[in-house]
Structure 1
Amino acid sequence: MNLTHNYVTSLAAKPPEARMEVWDQKTPGLCLRIGTNGSGTWSFRYRPKIGGGYQRVTLGRLADLTLADARERAARHRVTVADGGDPQRELKARKSAADSILTFEALANRYIEEYAKPRKSSWKNDEGYLRRACCAWGKRAAVSITRRDAITFLDGIKKAAPVSANRTQTVLVTFFNWSVEEGHLEVNPIAGLRKRSVETAKDRVLSDWELRVLWTALAQSEGMSRDVADALRFLLLTGQRPGEVAGILQSELCDLESPGEARWEIPAERMKARRLHVVPLAPGALQILQKAIERRRMDGDGLRVFSSRFVARDTLARHSLSQAMRRLIANLEPEGRDGDAVASLQEKPPTPHDFRRTVGTGLARLKVVREDRKAVLAHVEDDVHGRHYDLYERLAEKRAALEAWDRHVASVVERQP
């Protein structure tokens, strides 16, 4: 029939008892399919010149297209068919091409699985930084991300967290470089881009007064779990990386019943340098581990050392240590002889990584030679000799250094510095 706007509107207002199709006499091939609930769809039926039976292509919903709009779209398709085209086949081809486009999120997932996990002990950091980028660009084609997109994105982070913007940029540079090397992208859109924020080298080291105040507060573990507090104390005694301490497993501990042989063997896959690192356990550190393992034994847990409150996690999260430190320092009361130390801590709050710098600096104050300090902190010489030929673990030297530091911490805690 010769469709009119009023007739089409009446069909939607008073739906038929059964689904029906109405064909437009004015525009051959144009069809309105209307359902019993009043919803309708416009379509166009045609027979391609290249052969085959009739094809139908959807034009849109009745709620979105007026009769005039539907006739216009159908007319355009009629011209395409007259010129030898096939609208339905072309539509499928475009959809297939769109489906084959690698989105930023899909490429980011491949980067994590194919590059970050096999090569980086800190791959979870990469995953976290890329997750924010995926929120901004996840569904976009990876090839469509421009330099301006990246600058706008990073400057948005910079407003609230300047250092985080730089870390995000570092991960994105690595991600885009890998994408180019693997042939997924032609160019790295942020190659040579200056860091969005100027950083100053960190130099925070705890004084003996501050060490004493923090150790005492951690021993009381107010406002945090016993496991988090012990992980922070263990970090302060060993100087290892916070993420490695948070994720320590019972299977990595050796000879705990022999104080002179007790050690923690950090596997290569959990080490930043991707090589086994052995940490001798001085008496104070050993005692912390033994008590933590006894708590796990009571829980029936033979895997972890420091347990997370979150059931879904196997071990503590690295950021749990940072969050606990911030809360602990903020709640310290500047009273008595510790008032100045508390004020100093609150004025310039240390992070768990600053504990590592404190241990390294403390060992230097105790006259531990540079090679032994570097061995304790797993700082490997970055040359062929250091990486491939000097494989001596310096286990005895590391044990002597950490025992000296253990005695120093004990003396600081027990007396007025």
Structure 2
Amino acid sequence: MANNKLSAKKVGALNQTGNYGDGGGLWLQVSKWQSKSWVFRFSFDGKRREMGLGSCKDVNLADARLLADSFRKMVRNGIDPIEARQAERAAQRAERMNIIAFHFCAKKYIEAHRHGWKNVKHAQQWTNTLTQYAYPVIGETPVKNIDTTHILRILEPIWTTKTETASRLRSRLENVMDWATTRGYRTGDNPARWKGHLENLLPKPSKVKKVVHHAALPYPQMNSFILVLRQHDHVSALALEFLVLTAARTSEVIAATWDEINLDEMNWTIPANRMKAQREHRVPLSSRCIEILNKASNLRQSDFIFPGGRVNKGLSNAAMDKLLQVTMSYECTVHGFRSSFRDWAGERTHYPSDLCEMALAHTIKNKTEAAYRRGDMLEKRRQMMNDWQKFCETAITTGSDIVPIRKTG
């Protein structure tokens, strides 16, 4: 596409309402009130985006071209210029007010270190834990004012119940606070440090009694569970049933997008970067899964199949657990349904073990066997998943020896 289609003279002469391209994504907009402004249009992550560059009174053609060129370079480097500008303005505003919040420091720390982390998921894990546990307490708090009391308010509620997560979170808080100190945003000791400080206030992680996780739902109870689940018609219920019928992980379901679905072939292809084993995983979809997707399409707000409460965000990590354990009063975990599926396949079917493990996207530990395994046995797995759906939808008579795993009080 040719650039520099406009000239300063032409810009001054144009008075008819419309959009006039200069090339390279730079456009002149003339409104019905004869006001003129610059707009930069671009595509990022497969989406068309548009950002204003200012009025022609304030930004001449040459300056608009320079701005557009700088933003094109950002796009080529994988940076969203709109988000970059918002971040820059927020930083400038915070600097002017001499209020550098913890949220700002954490974001900058992650940006500075993400390219040095070997695992591409590391940055997302940082963001997720800070968003879930730290930001609600100190996200908007000036980093210079954060003290030990703030840190304990974050850590104490999960220190004995989610000890490993809490320990990692503490380390991340310490790193962010050190970064803030080095940048001159705060002074004094680090309130999140362990040695000589928090070790005096919290039990050593290795000494904390391990929490006994709730058992998986016994597979004979799947039909009664599904009947109760289908009485709930919100997005969390759709996502949970989809998870059960596909034997997928929570992270795989809540981040699922429509471009991963092939309705004609009834397949869901999860890209490698979203899989625990870092390998693409194809999931055969049963007829009920297709029904769920059709229902979800009526709720579509973004690219996420199961939208969350925030714009352009998928369902939260805790949404299905809340539905299962609080709303439905089941004393089991969402992740446990993978075990329910595996127990059913092992005890009630003759499907080979490696097929069951492949359905769960487990890696083959035997390197020799893995080397010879070329296909993913999709069609064989399809029959198994259809049988799993049929089992879940069929009432069975099991006698009185099965104790429900649902709360009674």
Quickly name the TM-score band, shorter chain normalised. Answer: 0.5 to 0.7
Match status 1:317 vs 2:316: yes
CA contact (8 A) 1:364 1:370 kept: yes
Question: What is the distance in 1 between the residues matched to 2:351 and 2:326?
Answer: 33
Assess, with a 3 A threshold, how the Cα gap between structure 1 residues 232 and 364 changes in structure 2: closer, same or farther. Answer: same
- Cα distance in 2, alignment partners of residues 138 and 386 from structure 1: 55
Structure 2 unaligned spans of 5+: 1-94, 184-189, 399-409
> 1:277: which partner in 2?
281
Q: Is the 8 A contact 1:271 1:277 kept in 2?
A: yes
Q: What is the CA distance between 1:253 and its match in structure 2?
A: 0.3
SS in structure 2 at match of 1:248: coil
Structure 2 counterpart SS, 1:379: coil
Match 1:395 to one of 373, 378, 393: 378
CA distance in 2, matches of 1:364, 1:171: 38
| Equivalences for residues 207-356 of structure 1 within 5 A | 207-221=218-232, 225-254=233-262, 256-258=263-265, 262-293=266-297, 295-296=298-299, 303-308=303-308, 310=309, 312-330=311-329, 345=330, 349-356=331-338
Aligned mate of 1:407, from 369, 372, 390: 390
Return closer, same or farther for 1:290/1:278 CA change in 2, 3 Å cut-off. Answer: same
In the TM superposition, what is the alpha-carbon distance from 1:282 to its structure 2 partner? 2.2
- 1:278 partner SS: strand
CA contact (8 A) 1:250 1:303 kept: yes
Q: Which amino acid aligns with 1:355?
A: F
Instruction: Tell me the CA shift for residue 138 of structure 1.
Output: 6.1
| Residues 282-313 of structure 1: per-residue CA shift (max 9 Å, x gap) | 233233223333x24xx6x57342344x3524
d(CA) in 2 for partners of 1:384 and 1:110?
Answer: 41
Distance in 1 between residues matched to 2:356 and 2:135, nearest whole Å: 36
Query: Which one has the largest radius of gyration?
Result: 1
1:162 aligned to 2:163?
A: no
SS at match of 2:230: helix
Among 323, 346, 356, the residue aligned to 1:364: 346
1:67-216 mapped onto 2 (5 Å cutoff): 107-113=105-111, 114-115=113-114, 118-120=120-122, 122=125, 123-131=127-135, 134=138, 139-140=143-144, 156-158=156-158, 162-173=160-171, 189-190=193-194, 194-195=204-205, 197-200=208-211, 202=213, 204-216=215-227
How far apart in 2 are the matches of 1:383 and 1:107? 44
Q: Structure 1 residues 384 and 235, CA, compared in 2 at 3 Å: closer, same or farther?
A: same
1:280 to 1:131, Cα distance in 2 relative to 1, 3 A: same
Shift of 1:416: 3.8
Cα distance in 1 for partners of 2:353, 2:176 equals 36
Secondary structure of the structure 2 residue equivalent to 1:163: coil
Is the Cα contact below 8 Å between 2:304 and 2:312 reproduced in 1?
no
TM-score by length of 1: 0.54
Shift of 1:106: 5.1
Distance (Å, rounded) in 2 between the aligned partners of 1:302 and 1:149: 39
Tell me how far apart the structure 2 counterparts of residues 131 and 387 of structure 1 sit (CA, whole Å): 43
Q: CA deviation at 1:240?
A: 0.8
Residue 363 of structure 2 aligns to a residue whose secondary structure is coil
The SS at the match of 2:269 is strand
Q: How many residues align?
A: 283
Equivalent AA in structure 1 for residue 305 of structure 2? V
Q: Matched residues in 1 for 2:374 and 2:257: separation? A: 24
Paired with 1:389 and 1:104, the residues of 2 have a C-alpha distance of 50
The 1:389/1:354 distance shift into structure 2, 3 A limit, reads same
Cα pair 1:112 1:127 within 8 Å, conserved: no
Distance 1:325 1:272 in 2: 24
- Once the two structures are overlaid, the 10-residue window that deviates more, 172-181 or 239-248, is 172-181
In 2, Cα distance between equivalents of 1:409 and 1:360: 13
Distance 1:371 1:252 in 2: 25
1:127 to 1:388, Cα distance in 2 relative to 1, 3 A = farther
More helix per residue: 1
Q: 1:252 to 1:364 in 2, by over 3 A?
A: same
- Say if 1:380 and 1:386, in contact at 8 Å, map to a contact too: no
Report the CA distance shift for 1:103/1:190 in structure 2 as closer, same or farther (over 3 A): farther
Shift of the alpha carbon at 1:140? Answer: 4.2
Correspondence 1:377 to 2:360: yes
Q: Do the aligned partners of residues 110 and 268 (structure 1) sit closer, same or farther apart at CA in structure 2, a change above 3 Å counting?
A: farther
> RMSD of the alignment, in Å?
4.5
* Partner Cα separation in structure 2 for residue 173 and residue 302 of structure 1: 34
Identity between Structure 1 and Structure 2 (%)? 19
